[in-house]
Amino acid sequence: MSTTFQRNGKTYTVVFALRRDTYECLDKELTERATVSNQQIDELIADIDSCKGCKTRCCSQTPIEPVYNEDGTLKRSKDEMLRYTNALNTAIGSNVDLTEENIKMIHAILFTNDLAYRGKFKSQTNDLILPTKHPDRKIIVATTPPRDTQRELGYLIKWANQNLAKKNFHPLIVISTFIYEFLLIHPFQDGNGRTSRILTHLLLMKTGYQFAESSSLDQVIWNDRCIHREVLLVESFNRNSEHVINLQLWIRYYLITISVMIKQVEIQADGDLALC
């Protein structure tokens, strides 16, 4: 469901990404989505699985490279990138479980110097405002209200842990679906994207994908962040469709980003020995 309004000469379309009835039937809804299967997705999964145990001889986490604006200024501070690397190394180095407490711990490291935000769920709405090709039109994706954040994230964590343990669905499908839902819940006031990327590394490592230890999803997402937002936007429109939602577009996109992570490992292997 969506609605449109105008303000200061600009048109805003609000997409209500979460419905009230998803809270009680989230397990069933997500399970239906996770049954997705098509040839391209199956091929991507097969390619990623073929490199499941690949890593470089040196398995320390790839340093996060600076990202610059066109004028040469940094898009993100070196301190921010250092905190991201510390949070990532802590999560995968300790092989922490997927729990609310550990997700908050990851976020707290990202915001070490911010007492108001670190490790705390949002206290105000933080809807996603996404640009379009038309400068006078923007899309607002309504995320989970603060009062429902803990409950809905709890459902999501439980669903992911159960399905990864039972292995009813391929782990890459479960991980991709988890990240999509996490981003639309948007549990923290800020830092949700960075937290989601660290969680991706963690879940990949926990399910045996060793290349996640020596590659950087953060760089992949940053390089294609416009596509990232567009795919998330399209799927958020479809999320309230009456049709069965299987997230093929999002899952295909996320598997491609994981494939690019593998390319990073292959590039590192040019100067080192790849261990597969």
Please tell me the predicted confidence (pLDDT) of residue 120. 96
Query: Which range (109-118, 152-161, 183-192, 215-224) has the least confidence?
Result: 215-224
| 31-124+145-226+244-275 CATH choice from 3.30.70.260, 2.60.40.10, 3.40.449.10, 1.10.3290.10 | 1.10.3290.10
Please tell me the predicted confidence (pLDDT) of residue 274. 44
CA distance 188 to 120: 7
**pLDDT classification of 147: cutoffs 50, 70, 90:** very high
Phi-psi region of 239 (alpha: psi -120 to 50; beta: other; left: phi over 0): alpha
Helix axes 78-94, 100-110, angle to 10 degrees: 150
Please tell me the predicted confidence (pLDDT) of residue 243. 47
Is the CB of residue 271 less than 8 Å from the CB of residue 256?
Answer: no
CA distance 234 to 176: 16
Is the CB of residue 250 less than 8 Å from the CB of residue 232?
Answer: yes
pLDDT in tens, 56-109: 544 444 445 555 455 555 566 788 889 999 999 999 999 999 999 999 999 999
Mean pLDDT of the chain: 79
Domains of the chain, residue spans: 31-124+145-226+244-275
